[in-house]
């Protein structure tokens, strides 16, 4: 009962902080929906859901990328399409959803290695993106490290080629020794480093298969 009363007080306080007062912030069409006290890691569904209970960092990262694809402007347009008769409802709901969106992106895009969209050119140039940086929830990575190897798909074994590379941009050149006699599969172990984001250093394994004069991404393991 005490916990319930405390939550009720917090919600009421959050609404009053926006110049609103009364039950359901005086906007019954929206209800007690707020973002000030919303914390993604503490949120629980009304009915237990194994998908949430067993979610791993890479699962949350995947979901956050979907959320990131929905821009704040799109959220505003969607809420506007509801056609609330109370203009405060449109404004409040848009603000709350976008504030929750920002918290979700910050929590889950930074909860694991944020490297995405890898590609390996025919000349062996690896390029990739950083989902956390691109979503505006983290500053630039300090560096990236890449470990290259030949991958034997039948045996499931790796043979390292050259020493670990360190780059500060989102691109790296595969070792000449690896490309001189290219195998059927190339693997790259990528880690990102940021002083405020320790989870970025978790490994990301990339697998590329030779396809004519180029390479095709055939596997990606986050936190292998």
Q: What is the pLDDT of residue 16?
A: 53
Positive/negative CA dihedral, 60, 65, 70, 75: positive
What are 18-30's pLDDT values in tens digits? Answer: 444 443 457 888 8
| Mean pLDDT calculated for residue range 126-130 | 98
Q: What is the pLDDT of residue 2?
A: 42
Q: How many Å apart are CA 36 and CA 39, to the nearest integer?
A: 8
Q: How many Å apart are CA 51 and CA 47, to the nearest integer?
A: 12
Mean pLDDT for all residues in the chain: 90
Confidence of residue 15 (pLDDT cuts 50, 70, 90): low
Architecture of domain 115-222: Sandwich (2.60)
| Mean pLDDT calculated for residue range 168-174 | 97
Distance of CA 165 to the CA centre of its chain: 25
Q: How many Å apart are CA 5 and CA 149, to the nearest integer?
A: 58
| Mean pLDDT calculated for residue range 147-166 | 96
Q: What is the pLDDT of residue 14?
A: 52
Q: How many Å apart are CA 198 and CA 93, to the nearest integer?
A: 33
What are 54-101's pLDDT values in tens digits? Answer: 999 999 999 999 999 999 999 999 999 999 999 999 999 999 999 999
Distance of CA 68 to the CA centre of its chain: 8
Q: What is the pLDDT of residue 135?
A: 97
| Mean pLDDT calculated for residue range 188-206 | 98
pTM value is: 0.85
Delimiting residues of CATH 2.60.40 domain(s) in the chain: 115-222
Q: How many Å apart are CA 209 and CA 168, to the nearest integer?
A: 26
Q: Where are the alpha helices (DSSP H) in the chain?
A: 2-16, 50-53, 57-68, 72-81, 87-108, 131-134, 176-180
Q: What is the pLDDT of residue 125?
A: 98
Confidence of residue 45 (pLDDT cuts 50, 70, 90): confident
Q: How many Å apart are CA 65 and CA 68, to the nearest integer?
A: 5
Q: Bigger pLDDT: 196 or 10? A: 196
Q: What is the pLDDT of residue 21?
A: 45
Token duo for residue 194? 């940021």
Nearest by Cα to 35 from 80, 72, 61: 72
Q: What is the pLDDT of residue 12?
A: 52
Cβ atoms within 10 A of the Cβ of 207, count?
18
């Amino acid at each position: 009962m005490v916990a319930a009363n405390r939550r009720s007080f917090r919600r009421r306080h959050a609404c009053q902080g926006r110049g609103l007062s009364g039950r359901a912030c005086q906007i019954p069409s929206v209800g007690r929906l707020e973002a000030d006290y919303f914390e993604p890691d503490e949120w629980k569904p009304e009915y237990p859901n194994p998908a949430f209970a067993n979610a791993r960092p890479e699962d949350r990262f995947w979901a956050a990328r979907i959320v990131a694809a929905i821009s704040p402007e799109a959220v505003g347009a969607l809420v506007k399409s509801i056609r609330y008769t109370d203009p405060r409802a449109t404004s409040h709901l848009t603000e709350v959803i976008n504030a929750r969106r920002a918290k979700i992106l910050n929590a889950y895009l930074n909860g694991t290695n944020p490297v995405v969209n890898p590609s390996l050119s025919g000349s062996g140039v690896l390029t990739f993106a950083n989902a956390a940086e691109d979503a505006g929830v983290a500053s630039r990575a300090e560096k990236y490290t890449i470990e290259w190897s030949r991958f034997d798909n039948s045996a499931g074994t790796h043979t390292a080629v050259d020493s670990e590379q360190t780059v500060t941009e989102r691109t790296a050149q595969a070792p000449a020794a690896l490309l001189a006699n290219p195998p059927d599969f190339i693997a790259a172990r990528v880690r990102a480093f940021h002083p405020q984001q320790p989870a970025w250093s978790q490994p990301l394994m990339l697998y590329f298969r030779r396809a004519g004069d180029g390479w095709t991404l055939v596997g990606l393991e986050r936190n292998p």
